[in-house]
Amino acid sequence: MNEYELPDDVPNHSLLTSMYRSLTMKGGRSPTVGDVSSAIRTAGLSSKDARIAQTNHNLGKLSPHKRMSAERFARALASEEVALIQRALCGDLVIPDFKAFTDTCTGMFEDCRDDRGGSVASYIPQLARVDPELYALGVCTVDGQVFSAGDDRESFCVQSTCKPITYALALELHGRDVVHRHVGREPSGQSFNEITLNSRGLPHNPMINAGAIMCSSLIDAQAPLADRFDRLMGLWRDMAGGAR
């Protein structure tokens, strides 16, 4: 058996063989560890993606310049992660050519870099202190393909973008009927921070401040405040793939 072949008894034999051949260089040169990692990243899957954590760990233990035989390649890929990696390498994720997509995003990002319109919000101290020169772009697809540019490591105050997350958790805990006994679901026509109620005496919807406050009150209402906060932060971490 040569380095380009796998034993027939290897799990996912046909799939792994096809994946390996797709990574083999012109002239039949076997790929390096770096080539494999780069192909996965180029498809949009992050080195921090929890869904392929074991494969990333296995690859990380090897020198990026080391050439990979078919058998070494098969050993590096965790069996439960093969299906997702196969989809990525075969262009079967929601954005097949992620490289072309990110190139377009980068172009738009650079085109807008010099736009200095607007001003930092001053009505909340945390917002007023933000450096107005910070500039970043982040994208995450439904398949977990991620891309970011600029000052993407800077933390920021999520403000009202927390409202749909809080609403979703309230729905998960209580169901739609219970939640909407406490908050409406129709547009208000009012400013987001107006403290107004609809004809039933309820906040108009979960996306205005009054409705968001009501949804927050439905989350583990009997638990200590710190536990309620931890529950919500845990949801944010889970939705961010374990990021902090």
Q: Write down the pTM of the prediction.
A: 0.81
Mean pLDDT split into 10-residue runs, the chain, 244 residues: 62 80 78 95 94 96 92 91 94 96 98 92 90 95 96 90 94 96 91 85 94 95 93 88 70
Q: What's the pLDDT at 27?
A: 61
Q: Please give the full DSSP string across 48-84, using - where no structure is assigned.
A: T-GGGHHHHHHHHTS-TT-B--HHHHHHHS-GGGHHH
Q: What's the pLDDT at 26?
A: 59
Q: What's the pLDDT at 20?
A: 87
CB 240 within 8 A of CB 152: no
Q: What's the CA gap between 206 and 185, in Å, rounded?
A: 7
Q: Which residue has the tokens 């993407």?
A: 152
CB 152 within 8 A of CB 137: yes
CB 207 within 8 A of CB 190: no
